[in-house]
Structure 1
Amino acid sequence: MRFIQKAVDAFRPLADPSHRSIPVGLRPARRQWTFDLAPLTGESALSGICPVCGKRAKFDEFTDNPRESGRCSNCQSFNRQRQMAHAIRKQCGLPKAGPLRFPEGFVIYNTETTASLHLQLLQTPGYLCSEYFGDEYEPGQMVDGRRHEDLRHLSFEDNSIDLVLSSDVMEHMPDPYAAHLEILRVLKRGGRHIFTVPFGPSMQEDQIRAKLVDGDIVYLEEKAFHGDPVRPNEGVLVWTIFGLAMFGRLRELGFDVKGWNIFAPNEGVVGPWSLVFDARKPIDQ
């Protein structure tokens, strides 16, 4: 239970008055947190500075799934991508506006090779990106011009990467904590893994929806699939929905971990649970 309490304590507000944070497991106050997203279209669309492209923009076409909607009029980023970019700018000390620019020698590894955040980072020196194409490929192998990596067996050297980015990736593997441990290995001391996952703020334990038994998938819950940019006609299985126990597991691995519930309409980030997690490798590790 001490890890559950630490998880509740881990949610901290970001240093901007437009952001609010609440303890995990509590429902947000309705007047502060509940948005009727239907009017946020056309002339009533949100406007401000997009944290992905750093330009003034409108954020339009929100749906009843706010995490995956609300396109930026410039870079076409949607809400979840802007949550990630917002956290990157805050945690890396970058300005709110302008391109995503990092210090010389700063190494970023992104676990996807598509979408707006990837496109904004492409010109960054030291930028690495990959997809997972299947167990038949070796980590680091190029497949149709893109790098293949298995997050459980990365090809990168120890202490070689400053920032790892993953957005709704960890739920799509049978052992996500093996992947977290491998990310910890490749991060430099003081480096961080900024990520999003499906998360139940009122859930104490992770919900294991499927597991591997002697090489076969055993389904513990109804099958669920998310869209897969690499295989758009297939989808990718959801193995885990994460709960408060995730904080304890990551701390046991050696991370310092926090979660942010971001509320920044002037950056196109809305919805009741705009959650981004920051797992940092301690400097003395």
Structure 2
Amino acid sequence: MICKNCSSSSRLRAVMYILGTCLGISRLPVVAWAKDKEIRILESSGRGPYPMMLKEKFDYYNTEYDPASELMKRPFTAYADFQSLAYDEGVFDYVIASDVFEHVREDAKGFSEIFRVLKKGGAFILTVPYNHEWEQTLTRVKVEGDKDIELLPPEYHGGGGQTLAYRTYGRDLPDRLRSFGFSVALLNFDAPQLAITRQVAFVAIKEGYLDVTKYHFFETDARMEPHRASPLFLFRLFSFLKYNSLSVPHFISEVRRRVSDRFPKS
């Protein structure tokens, strides 16, 4: 389900809803969140309108994976390898990976690295292709040294379908995350008032107490009044002008990325 105002998907809205829950402000739209540059967030391959808003409000780094880029070896750039992050220990309050880890070649290294760079009590917000009926994760591509061995017909995701999926996760994922030291909550929820369809996500806390009631979406949430169009017209107009018309560099970079995804160089 795509938002008519910002073109965000239901999954992306769910991720922001969870981040807002962590911050204690889930009932506010992202554009209305207070600025706090003391909060540091790392994300991989953030898409849609949210990265621009998060960058304005927090110390936020939205990164891409590019093995050819030397910038992946330097911290606080636009590039990062989640299997080998160029950051010191305990520097991020939140790490977000939305439908990324099925593409991470050695995901165990990625989980370990995220645990390392999170602050104590920091949260890892994760969505992946997940089947709760499966006891074990389905490996599509087996990794042996530098070799990728296809066990199943290749499956590609992402813009233009260019990114190889190494796995589809099963019920062993929470225990795998716990093995790195995380406390883990599996969230299976919807939020009709925000047009969020049924989503599965994980919140993993580093070396901290996980208050699962914080992530329960009670009946009071379900009874919240939906956002109606007319009272929000001026607010939406302001948001459109601020985050679209006045954000030409971001718009151009998104167009270039989408064109590159759609028409990859041969």
Partners of 1:130 and 1:244 lie apart in 2 by 28
Q: Distance in 1 between matches of 2:26 and 2:71?
A: 38
Q: Of residues 135, 138, 142 in structure 2, which corresponds to 1:204?
A: 135
Q: Do residues 116 (structure 1) and 116 (structure 2) align?
A: no
CA contact (8 A) 1:192 1:280 kept: yes
Amino acid at match of 1:147: A
Tell me if the contact between 1:227 and 1:236 (Cα under 8 Å) persists in the aligned partners.
yes
| TM-score in terms of structure 2 length | 0.72
Which SS does the other structure have where 1:172 is aligned? coil
Find the aligned partners of 1:141 and 1:125 in 2 and give their Cα distance: 20
How many angstroms does 1:92 deviate by? 1.9
Say whether residues 1:279 and 2:198 are aligned partners: no
Aligned-pair CA distance for 1:283: 3.6
**Corresponding residue for 2:158?**
227
Q: Is the 8 A contact 2:25 2:33 kept in 1?
A: yes
Q: 3-state SS of the aligned residue for 2:57?
A: coil
Give the ranges of 4+ consecutive aligned residues of structure 1 lying more than 3 Å apart after TM superposition: 100-104, 135-138
Name the CA shift for 1:103/1:136 in 2 (closer, same or farther; >3 Å). closer
Q: Which residue of 2 aligns with 1:167?
A: 98
1:100–1:120 CA contact under 8 A, matched in 2 = no
Kindly tell me: are residues 102 and 250 of structure 1, through their superposed partners in 2, closer, same or farther at Cα, counting changes over 3 Å?
A: farther
The answer to whether the aligner puts 1:187 opposite 2:118 as a matched pair is: yes
Write out per-residue CA displacement over residues 11-55 of structure 1, whole angstroms, 9 at most, x where no aligned residue. Answer: xxxxxxxxxxxxxxxxxxxxxxxxxxxxxxxxxxxxxxxxxxxxx
Determine the structure 2 residue equivalent to 1:48.
Answer: none
State percent identity of aligned pairs. 25
Using the alignment, how far apart are the partners of 1:158 and 1:138 within structure 2? 19
RMSD, aligned α-carbons: 2.0
Change (3 A) 1:177 1:100: farther
SS of 1:247's partner is helix
Q: Give the gaps of 5 or more residues in structure 2.
A: 210-266
Q: Quick check: 1:100–1:121 contact (8 Å CA) kept in 2?
A: no
Answering whether residue 14 of structure 2 is matched by residue 83 of structure 1, we say yes
Q: CA separation in 2, counterparts of 1:104 and 1:163?
A: 13
Conservation of the 8 A alpha-carbon contact between 1:141 and 1:147? no
Contact 1:156 1:186 in 2 (8 A): yes
Aligned to 1:239: 166
Query: Aligned partners of 1:202, 1:256: CA distance in 2, in Å?
Result: 22
Does structure 1 residue 148 correspond to structure 2 residue 75?
no
**1:36-185 map, 5 Å:** 70-98=1-29, 99-101=32-34, 103-134=36-67, 137-141=70-74, 147-185=78-116
The separation in 1 between residues aligned to 2:117 and 2:56, in whole angstroms, is 22
Task: Find the aligned partners of 1:71 and 1:100 in 2 and give their Cα distance.
Answer: 21
**Tell me, what secondary structure is at the counterpart of 1:203?**
coil
Query: Following the alignment from structure 1 to structure 2, what is the Cα–Cα distance between the partners of residues 85 and 205?
Result: 28
Distance, in Å, in 1 between the alignment partners of 2:137 and 2:82 is 20
Between the two proteins, the alignment pairs up a number of residues equal to 206
Q: Taking structure 1 as reference, are residues 270 and 149 closer, same or farther at Cα in structure 2, changes over 3 Å only?
A: same
CA distance, structure 2, for counterparts of residue 169 and residue 180 of structure 1? 12
Question: Which structure ranks higher in relative contact order (CA pairs < 8 Å, sequence separation ≥ 6)?
Answer: 1
The one-letter code of the counterpart of 1:256 is: S
User: Does residue 256 of the first structure (1) align with residue 187 of the second (2)?
Assistant: no
Aligned to 1:20: none
TM-fit CA distance, 1:135: 5.1
Aligned-partner SS, 2:70? coil
Deviations 1:227-252 (A, max 9, x none): 24xxx4x6100001111111111111
Q: C-alpha separation between the residues in 2 aligned to 1:95 and 1:127?
A: 18
